[in-house]
Structure 1
Amino acid sequence: MEAAQTKAQQLIDDNAVMIFSKSYCPYCNNAKGVFNSRDAKYKAIELNQIDDGDDIQSALHKMTGQRTVPNIFIGGAHIGGSSDLDAVVKNGKNGKTLEELLKEAGAL
C-alpha cells in the first residue's frame, strides 16, 4: 500500500493535471473530454489496465476520502470526481475559473 501511495503522489506531483481513471467509465471519459476540449495537457492512468491499479485506488481513497473514479488533481490540488469537475467548470474553485487553474498549473 505504501508503494502505491508513493506512486500516486509522484504522479500527482509530476503532472499539471492528473486523472486516475478506468477505461470503461463514462464519467472518466467525460472528465477527459473537458480537458481535451480545452487542449489542456493532462496525464490519465487507467487503473483497470495496470497491475497495481486496485492498490493505487485504495491509496487515493486513503489520501482523499474518495473511492470513485475519476479522481482528478490540478496543480497538485484534489478537485474530486466528475460532478466536482462539472462544478468547477460552472462555478470555478476558490474564485478561479477552470482555465485559470489550468494556466496556473501549467496545463494550458
Structure 2
Amino acid sequence: MKPIEIYTSPLCGFCHAAKRLLTQKGVGFTEIDVLRDPDRKPEMIQRADGRRTVPQIFIGETHVGGCDDLFELERSGKLDPLLAA
C-alpha cells in the first residue's frame, strides 16, 4: 500500500473528517500537524502546488487535495483503487 500523508491542524474540522474517512477505510497515515510544526508548512505549500489550506492529502506521490477532494474520490469509487495501487 502506498504511504499516505496528511497535513493537518488540530482545530480543523475538515482535517478530522478526512482522517475519520481514512481510518474507516482501515488505512494508516502519517499526520503532519503544521500548527505544532510550522516549519513543515512551506513544504506542504510547495508539494500542494501553492495550496495553503489544511488538510492537504497525499497518497504515494499523488496529491489528492483537501477533504472535499478526498470525499469526491470516495463518492466516485476512485479512492479504493488509488489506495490499493
- The corresponding residue for 2:24 is 37
Runs (5+) with no aligned partner, structure 2: none
C-alpha root-mean-square deviation of aligned residues, in Å? 1.5
Q: Which one has the bigger strand percentage?
A: 2
- The corresponding residue for 1:27 is 14
What SS does structure 2 have at the residue aligned with 1:48? coil
TM-score calculated relative to the size of structure 1: 0.69
C-alpha deviation, 1:26, in angstroms? 0.4
- The corresponding residue for 1:17 is 4
How many residues align structurally? Answer: 83
- The corresponding residue for 1:6 is none
- The corresponding residue for 1:58 is 42
Q: Higher RCO, 1 or 2 (CA under 8 Å, sep at least 6)?
A: 2
Q: How does 1:1-108 map to 2 (within 5 A)?
A: 16-50=3-37, 53=38, 55-63=39-47, 64-92=49-77, 97-104=78-85
Deviations 1:9-52 (A, max 9, x none): xxxxxx711000001110000000010001101111111112xx
Paired residue type of 1:33: R
Structure possessing the higher radius of gyration over alpha carbons: 1
Runs (5+) with no aligned partner, structure 1: 1-14
**Moved segments of 4+, more than 3 Å:** none
What is the distance in 2 between the residues matched to 1:67 and 1:91?
25
What SS does structure 2 have at the residue aligned with 1:49? coil
Identity, in percent, stands at: 30
